[in-house]
Amino acid sequence: MNLFSLKQDFLQYIEIEKGRSALTVRNYDHYLDRFLEFIKVESPTEITETMMREYRVYLNRHPARAAKKGQAVETLDKRTQNYHLIALRAFLKYMRRQGVKSYDPERIELAKTGERELDLISEKELQNLMSAPDTKTIIGLRDKAILEMFFSTGLRVSELCSLDRDADLKTGEISVRGKGGKIRVVFVSGAALSAVKDYLKGRVDIDEAMFIDHSPRAQARMVKEESIRLTPRSVERIVQKYAELAGIAKKCTPHIIRHSFATDLLYNGADLRTVQMMLGHASIATTQIYTNVTNKFLRDQFEKFHNKKNK
């Protein structure tokens, strides 16, 4: 079998046997396509050490996005390079298990990355963000509900977009399906519950999605009985729109609000294991990134309040 047909088998394997999400499968497909287009061979046995080394150089120099005129070209960061290599290593391991001879996956070392830093917004910026939507309109009601839900629950953008309007909001708890198909319970604050109820009260459609597109283009899709559920990209644009209205200069995404949710819990005394469960992290090592932020917060509090008479 050639590499292209093996790739298709591998993608089906991670989707069915490994239960990977559609997004993960799509990303792996993209990463592997980039590799196969670079090496320009079809047989698994033709992959060489030289090809692999040249591919690493290619990734390191590859533009992250098209640069505007006069701007320096930004290349793929080390983490993104590693995502490519992780997908490639998994593909090579799959071929080995199938008895297909190819490049040894154990020879692929991931690029060293610096300590990850969180992008955060201040408490004041968060307050300005939450109050930015104009709740006199149905779009403003929707966007207010979206922002409140993000900060109340710490949902990923894909998880929020998958919510249906028939979710039981009376208990203040919602079950969501996260990464790897794992179910977890998230807790909805009074402010978020109120915002969602106000929004749903103003809806006149029958779409099952909790959050939908209200643009004129969506009306045409409704006539064709197509779903007008918001996509993750649409929600990202909504968040950035209100960040700009709130005067937040830095890039603001749903994931940054998720960070705010996590750090707010830790600042107020929650332990790391609790935050891990609420965020839906498979490993507590992923959650530990937040300790760097809270340690700095505690240091600031110590210097501000401890033993002031001797200063």
Does residue 30 carry a catalytic annotation? no
Please identify which of the residues 177, 179, 184, 221 carries the catalytic annotation. Answer: 179
Name the token pair of 87. Answer: 């997908």
User: Does 258 qualify as catalytic in the annotation?
Assistant: yes
Catalytic residue, candidates 84, 156, 214, 259: 156
Q: Is 84 one of the annotated active-site residues of the chain? A: no
Closest CA to 236 of 152, 131, 153, 160: 160
The answer to whether the Cα torsion of 253, 255, 256, 257 is positive or negative is positive
The question of whether 229 is a catalytic residue gets the answer: no
Q: Is 290 a catalytic residue?
A: yes
**Within a 13 Å sphere around the CA of 31, how many CA atoms are in the beta-carbon half?**
22
Given 184, 221, 255, 267, the catalytic residue: 255
Active site residues: 156, 179, 255, 258, 281, 290
